[in-house]
Structures are given as structure tokens and as C-alpha cells.
Structure 1
Amino acid sequence: MVEVTVTPRSSLADRPVQVQVRGLSPSQLITLRASLTDEHGECFQARAFFRADEAGEVDPGRHAALGGSYTGVWPMGLFWFLQPDTPAPRPQPLASCEAERWYVGPGMQRVPIREGRVRGALFLPPGPGPFPGVIDLFGGAGGLIEFRAGLLASRGFAVLALAFFAYDDLPRTLTQLDLEYFEEAAELLLRHPKVRGPGLGVVGVSKGAEVALAMASFLPQVVATVWINGTAFLHGNPLVYKDLRIPPIPYYTERVIFTELGALDNSAIFADPRDPAYSTSAIPAEKIRGKVLFVVGEADRSFNSKLFAELAMARMPPENCRLLSYPGAGHLIEPPGSPLCSISSIRGTPRPVVWGGEAQAHAKAQEHSWQEIVQFLELHLGPAATMKL
């Protein structure tokens, strides 16, 4: 009898699992298929072709996929290479099983935050704490995005998923970055009795990385910053902080490239930040006293992220910064278990936007960078208690 198993059956979404098939005939050719329906009813699938070994077994962690959504030995390939799929009748499977992948561990507390101007959600691990504090920021999509905060909290951090526009009563569009809003959020997090100070970490991607770098430059509470595919200059929106105003480099929307699929490629809409005319738009990274981990996808089609990382690092003491640069990785570098999103719709744009990335290189970048991010935060904020799910 053919049996397919996933071990463990229930796990955090950033943790590896083992997929095994037993009971096949030696050298039998099979298709392994993974399917997922998300909370919006959207369907995703991945498939891979294998030849059973002499014992009649297939293990993607030991046996190479011969084709399908990927090739080669990828233990998590059926999870990492999920793609949007139209529901359709499938052949009757020889065997099947279900696996649960969670973005929050057991006992996690989610606390909606609506205090002063600050809007977001605080994730607290179980137990008395205190836990190292982290603010988690996303970018131009706006709203409140929580999955990375849930995973970081499951690693033992107290994480504030922070919205800064297009959520609740916050402005619907982003007209400027008011750094006092982010300062208020930092102070709120550090006041919490389960948060261990005196410093905190910030993780940001895209526009959120721009914000994170500005927070590290001006706010002494920020001692560890993870910058993922962002900029080192203000772009499109000015930054204001007390009596300071940093003007932005403008967007040149006439430089948008329309791809064959009708999507928007924004890689050319930004002026060269090295032009002396834009020197006043630079985020003053030389003021940073904490540590910064720069994470770059070299196939990013949204920003020239590697250039921005290098420009920021040139302003900083070498001991205060580190660069992780991944050839073939795109803009949206997320925790492992998240398939490559190379193109998607985003609030405020008339058509889908191209993010870039090659599936296998991007998957490797996500796996490696996530472990580095967690270790970086633990090193500079203190150890965090890891959950076991």
C-alpha cells in the first residue's frame, strides 16, 4: 500500500518538514503534488516528478526531482515552488495527506494596538518575558501585514507589526514619512512590561526598509536594523522629524516599462542617487550608532537595492554594518516557506508590479537570509526563547 507522509504534520511556516512516499515499486515514476488554498480562496500548486529507489521510496530530501515545478534535490521544493493555479480535476492520487503550516506558535498572544497615533498588532510569546522587542515594517502596499511578525514572535521576540498608512484611521495614501510617528511606536513598545530594553530592533522591506534606516539614524532606541531591498535616500515622499525635513528624489513615472504581460517594471523610474543634485535626500546613515544588516536581492526589479546598500554602508563604520547579497533573488525576500512573488498587484497602481527574482535562487536566499536575520537580532538584542512547533 502506498503511503505519503509529512513530518511533522503541524509546524511553523519557516521550519523544514520531511516528505516521504513508501510502498511504491522499485523505479516507479510518480508525480508528487502539493496544493494550497489560502484564506481568500486562491489556489496554489507545485508538482515534481520522481523515480522511486530500490526500496520503493521517494524522499525529496534525498532524491532529485526530474522535472515539474523544479529540478534537483530540494527537501522543501513542494512548498517553496508553489504557484497560482486554476482549480481543475486531478487524477485520483495513490495516496495523500494534509499538513498544517502556521505563522504563529501555540500560546501566542496578538494584541491590537490603537494607542495615541500608533496602529498595528503586537505579538507576544507565551510566558512572563521580558522578550527582546522588534518593530516590523512593510512597504508600499500599506495596510497591516502580520505574517513575518508572527514568525519572529514564534522565535521568542515581542514584535509590533506596525502600519503607517492605508489602515484604520491612518492616512489612506503616503504623502510624507513622519518620523515622530515611528518614534512614538518605539516608545510604546519599550514601555510594555513584557519587552526587554533598553534598545529594540527594526525589520523593514522596500519602503519599510527606508523607514527602518531613518529610524536607526535618528532614534537612539533602535540598536539593530534589518534592511531588506530598500533605499538609502528619501524617494517620492519627504521625511519630517521635529524641525528637520529631508526632501525626496522624485519618481519619474514616464520611465515606467510595460512588460509583455502588461505589468509595470519600475526599475528605471528613480534618478541616480549619486547625482549631486540629490545629496540632500540621503538618509544620514553616518549617524547610526547601532548595527545594520543589509539584505539585497540582486535581481530586484523595484530598486537598485545593492547600490543603495553600498551607498549607505559607505557612510557607516565597517564594524556597524554587514551586507548579504543574493544573485538571482528578487525584491520580496521573505521567510522560507514563502514562494517567490515575482509579480503582483499593489494598492495604488493601475496594473500589477514586477518584483523580479528566479525561483530557485530566490528560495535559497530566503532560507539563508532568514536564519541570518534571526541570529543578528538575537546577537544584538539578547537571546530569545524559541518555540517548539
Structure 2
Amino acid sequence: MTHITITPADDLIDVPRRILVGGSQADTLIGLRTHTARGDGVIWTSRALYRADADGVIDLSRDAPVEGDYSDVSPMGLIWSQTPVETGKREVFPADVSDALTTRVEVFDADGKCLDEAVLTQRLMAPGVQRREMREDGCVGTLFVPATPGPHPVVLVLNGSGGGINEPRGALYASRGYAALALGYFKTPGLSDYISNTPLEYFRRALDWISRELQPAHGFIAVSGQSRGGELALLLGATYPDRIKAVIGYVPGAVVHSAQNAADPATGREGPAWLIDGKPLPHLWENNRTASWKPFDDGPPPHRHERAIRTALLDQEAVERARIRVEQIDGPVLLLSAADDGSWPSSDYSRMVVDKLEQQKHAYPVNHLDFDQAGHAIAFPYVPTTQLVYAHPVSGRISTGGGRPAANAHADEASWRAVLNFLNAATSTRAKEQA
């Protein structure tokens, strides 16, 4: 009798599963389909057909589909190839990160009849991880603390131009042994709806709170940010090297940018994003002789924001004025970029950072992973990667982050492994230095 097994059936979201179907007739076509209710209540689905081997077995870690929503061998292809039944939905995480994601995986025959089913459960929070809201010194965030005894090394988690608080990433960091403060800095209750005129002193207060209240193990605080948060991670590392001892930049910028798509309409997209001592930091669009929004604004959607950024990068004097002084970072740096980034040229930006740090003989490891054919939305495994076109959550502009689903799925998986290895090495080195 045809049956399906998933191993492990219930685990953290970053754990790959082995999906096996056995008991079928040799060389027969067998289908698998999935059904997941995700964070906004929308159902996400996928399906694929496979040919059983001589023993009547299908092994997704070995077998590519004959046809379906993905093509090559991929043990978790049925998850990352999911699409929402309601067009345009993008939310893949539960609203409450303590809730598990459950996926029903059905086996069906040539007539569509269900032969067996199993449940695959993905969790963002390991047992015992503690979550609590942080409202201190004017800062707004969510703290996640591992189940193991402290003190712990700490990661400050920053979202991008969509704003809000990145609780899923914070919860997963804590599940892997790091206290994590997922910090909002705009589009969060109690804060501005826009990125415009955000003071860096806000983050300094959060860093001081971490040092005072959490007393990080060996004084280790890393900052992890994506997109605008990646730009901000590098900027904070360069501005507050006394606090930050490692920087992780997901699809980061190497220069200070204007407010762009997350701008307050009153100051516009060429207005400043970051302030220090009440004064705007020089940004790429400021007094730029070549910058133009036309490549982004003109033509049908989805728009590639990266095309406008490239016009601004032609003015080398403006680039140097806006360049983040990464040589001031006091710790190792990990950069994760995408070769088909539709939002901005994160590959080129990451190389700019690497080149500067090499030129300055940076005293710490600098790692750069550039993912071919991947786009801007590098997250972590294993989540759907199919929604490449979206309305920006602040500007509403229909844009694309670029990439291909399979390449984005590979980037999600490989980048998270790299992050965990990077943090393990950085914390071990820090512990030896402090011993």
C-alpha cells in the first residue's frame, strides 16, 4: 500500500526534511500536493508528479519531478515552490511566531485519488525560547531569549524598507542560541510611519540597553539587517564600533541612501533617511550629477529600482561622499548578495565593501557570498520563494526584487548556514580574546 513518511515530521523551520513515498508499483506516476495556511490565513499550495523506482519508492532527496511546480532535485522543493491561492499574497510567516506552520502533504494517483497523507510541521521558536516586548528608552522591539542558561551572545535584528519588527528572524536566532532583539525603527506602533529622518542615536540607545540589561556573553553584539537594514547594519557597525562586534548584511547597500520608497511624502524620496546629532548624513542622491529616477519610474510594472540606483552610482564623487566608512567596523563582516537583485545592486555594493576592507587590511574575517540568479528577498529556509512581484509596503509601487524561485530557495538555505557558521566563529574568537 502506498504510504508517505516525513523525517523529521516536526522541527525548526531551518531543518530540511526527507520525504519518502513507498509501497507503490514500480515505474508508476505518483503525485504529491501540499496545503499550508500561512500568516495571513491564505492557503499556499504546490504539486508535482514523480516516477517510482523499481522498488516502488520516491525519494525527494534523490528524484526530480517528471512535471510540477519545480523541476530539479530538491528535498524541500514542494515547500519553496508553493504559491498562494489568492493572487498577490506574500506573507509566509504566522502572525504569532510561537505558532507552528503545518503543511499537509498528500499522495495521489493518476486519477487524483488521495492514497495517503502526512503533516510537516515547521517552527520558528524552539521549546523554551522566551519572547517579550521591549519598550525602553524610546525604543520599540521584541526580545527573544534562548532556553539555555545565559548570558548569551546577542544579535540586533533590523528589517528593511518595509519597516516593522522582524520577529521570525529574531525567534530563529534565539532558537539557535543567540539572544535576539528584533528592533523596529519605523512603521511600528509608537514610531514614525516612514524611514525619513531616523536618528542613529535611537539605535545607540538600543545598543546601550542590550549591554546594560542583557550583559552579552563576552560583550558580543552582532547586528543583522536586510536591504535598508543591511545598509543600516554596516552604518551602525562603522558608527558604534565600541558596541557592535560583528556585522551581517543581507543584500546590503555600501552607501548611505536617501529615504527612497519608504519616504515621508512631506520630504520625498530624495530626502534623508539617517540623522546623527540632528544633521542628515550625506546620501547618494545628494548633489548627484547623474542620478535619475526615470529608469525606475518609466515603463510598465514591475519596476526594477536597481536601474535608478545605477544611474546614481555613475557619479563617483557622490558615491565617495555617501560611502559608509566600513573600515571603522571593529569585527568580522558577512555579506550576502544577489546577482539579479531588482531592488539595488547588492552584489556590486558587497564587492565595494570587500574591496575597501581589503585595501584597509581589515583585522577580521570578511566573507562575501554572492548568489547567482537570486533576487533581493533572501530570507531563510524553508519558505516559498515564488512571489517575485509585489507592491512596496510603503510607496505602493509595483516592483520586483528579481531572481528565480529555485535560485532564491538556494540562497535562503546557503545564506542561513553561512550566518550560523559566521556567528559561531565570531563568538568563539571573541570568547578566546576575552579569556
Q: Does TM, normalized by the shorter one, top 0.5?
A: yes
Deviations 1:100-140 (A, max 9, x none): 11111111100101011111100011132111100011100
1:93 equivalent among 114, 123, 128: 114
Which residue does the alignment assign to 2:15?
A: 15
Q: Is the Cα contact below 8 Å between 1:331 and 1:357 reproduced in 2?
A: yes
- Partner of 1:107: helix, strand, or coil? coil
Q: Which residue in the other structure is 1:225 paired with?
A: 247
Q: Deviations over 1:321-372 (max 9, x none)?
A: 2211111111011111022242223322233320011122222222111111
Partner of 1:294, secondary structure, is: strand
Q: Deviations over 1:141-186 (max 9, x none)?
A: 0111211111111101000111000101111111123111111111
The answer on 1:241 being equivalent to 2:276 is yes
Change (3 A) 1:287 1:244: farther
What corresponds to 2:432 in structure 1?
none
Residue 25 of structure 1 corresponds to 25
Stretches of structure 1 that go unaligned for 5 or more consecutive residues are: 384-389
Q: Counterparts of 1:174 and 1:333 in 2: how far apart (Å)? A: 21
Q: What are structure 2's unaligned runs of at least 5 residues?
A: 88-107, 259-271, 286-290, 430-435
Shift of 1:246: 1.8
- 2:173 matched to which residue of 1? 152
**Does residue 333 of structure 1 match 2:378?**
yes
> Which residue does 1:69 correspond to in 2?
69
Contact 1:190-1:196 at 8 Å conserved across structures: no
Distance 1:194 1:66, change over 3 A: farther
Matches within 5 A, 1:326-365: 326-340=371-385, 341-365=387-411
1:103 to 124, 128, 139: 124
Question: Is 1:374 equivalent to 2:420 in the alignment?
Answer: yes
Corresponding letter in the other structure for 1:75: P
1:266-313 Cα deviation digits (max 9, x unpaired) = 122221165213422111112122111111110101111111112222
Matched, 1:279 2:325: no
Counterpart of 2:68 in structure 1: which amino acid? G
Bigger Cα displacement from structure 2, 365-374 vs 202-211: 365-374
Task: State yes or no: 1:5 paired with 2:5.
Answer: yes
1:350 alignment partner AA: G
Instruction: Measure the CA separation in 2 of the matches of 1:72 and 1:354.
Output: 24
Contact 2:154–2:180 (CA under 8 A) maintained in structure 1? yes
The RMSD of aligned alpha carbons is 2.1
1:263 maps to: 302
Match of 1:289, as an amino acid? D
Relative to 1, partners in 2 of residues 1:257 and 1:57: Cα closer, same or farther, differing over 3 Å? farther
The 1:291–1:63 alpha-carbon spacing in structure 2 relative to 1, beyond 3 Å, is same
Partner residue, 2:52: 52
Q: Which residue of 2 aligns with 1:139?
A: 160
CA-CA distance at 1:70 after TM superposition: 1.3
Q: TM-score, normalised by structure 1?
A: 0.92
Q: Is the 8 A contact 1:177 1:238 kept in 2?
A: yes
The sequence identity of aligned pairs, in percent, is 29
